[in-house]
Structure 1
Amino acid sequence: MLDTILKRIVSSPVLIYAIRCFIGFLIGYQLYVYFPELELFWTLLSIILVISPEEKDTRRLSLERFKSNFIGSAVALGLLLFVEPTIYTIMFGILLTIVVCRLFKVLNMARVALVALLIIMVEPHDTSWVEAPFFRFGTVALGCIIGLLIVVLTSMIFRPLKKKYGIPY
């Protein structure tokens, strides 16, 4: 009975993705609830962005999402340190983010980088204007790290089970 249930779970990309998202949501939500003053909604959002729904190359795709999220965050942080966010600096940030994604060979994940850029540059901040970019970068980075760890750790559980049941990975 347990074998049948395990085999169904590890053979279903939908269930694996749902499990990863549930784990990510629960971790992110707990952080959000325990530390309401830290604007950790962005951590929660970044966790979900990094987790990959694709069955094939899940680790690679999650790592690419992780990299692209950092790229968008770093570009936004860099811009906000030197210029005030206006429509023109945000458009420049979009272009710069796309170029940097291309240079790091993660252009296929540029949309994730652009979301991170917009989170940091557009969303109003509760903290001071000087602290906000660093703080938002940190919360997005934390979400990326948590999301990537969830993918890696669950892969370490699912991979042997798939091997045991003869399910291609």
Structure 2
Amino acid sequence: MLDPILKRIASSPVLIYILRCCIGFLIGYKLYITYPDFELFWTLLSIILVISPEEKDTRRLSIERFKSNFIGSAVAMVMLLFLEPNVYTIIAGIFVTIIVCRLFNVLNMARVALVALLIIMVQPHQTGFVEAPIYRFGSVAVGCIIGLLIVVLTSIIFRPLKRKFGIPY
């Protein structure tokens, strides 16, 4: 009775993606509700950004998204620590983010890095100006780590199931 259900789930990239996103949302939402003083909405958003819908190379793509999200966050944090936020700083941040993504060979994920950059640089901050980039960077980094762990741990669960049912992975 359970085998057909497990086979259906293990053979469906859409169901696996839905499961990963729901797990990620629940973890992120729990953090968001539990620690309202921190800007953990960005953790929640980063979790979802890192989880990959593509079944092929899911782990590799999630790692690339993790790297690019981390790059965008780091560039934004450095920019805000040393420069006033304005349109020119954001343009410079976009330039630096794309160059760094190229150097780390994740240019195909530069849009994720740019989203992280914009989250940190454009969105009004609830905390003080000095702490805001650090909190946002930490929030995005935690989300990236959680999203990557979800992908890795669910892969560890689904690989044996796929092997058992003869489903290619």
- Give the C-alpha shift of residue 160 in structure 1: 0.5
1:131 corresponding residue in structure 2: 131
- Give the C-alpha shift of residue 39 in structure 1: 1.3
**What is the percent sequence identity of the aligned residues?**
79
- Give the C-alpha shift of residue 164 in structure 1: 0.5
1:71 corresponding residue in structure 2: 71
Instruction: Map 1:1-169; keep pairs closer than 5 Å.
Output: 1-169=1-169
* Paired amino acid for 1:90: I
Alignment deviations for residues 93-141 of structure 1 (CA, whole Å, 9 cap, x no partner) = 0011001000000000000000000000000111100000001000000
Aligned residues: 169
Gaps of 5+ in 2: none
* Paired amino acid for 2:63: L
Alignment deviations for residues 14-55 of structure 1 (CA, whole Å, 9 cap, x no partner) = 000000000000000000011111110000000000000000
* Paired amino acid for 1:82: F
Gaps of 5+ in 1: none
* Paired amino acid for 1:72: G
The CA distance in 1 between the partners of 2:124 and 2:148, in whole Å, is: 27
The CA distance in 1 between the partners of 2:71 and 2:34, in whole Å, is: 28
TM-score (normalizing by structure 1):
0.99
Moved over 4 A (4+): none
* Paired amino acid for 2:102: R
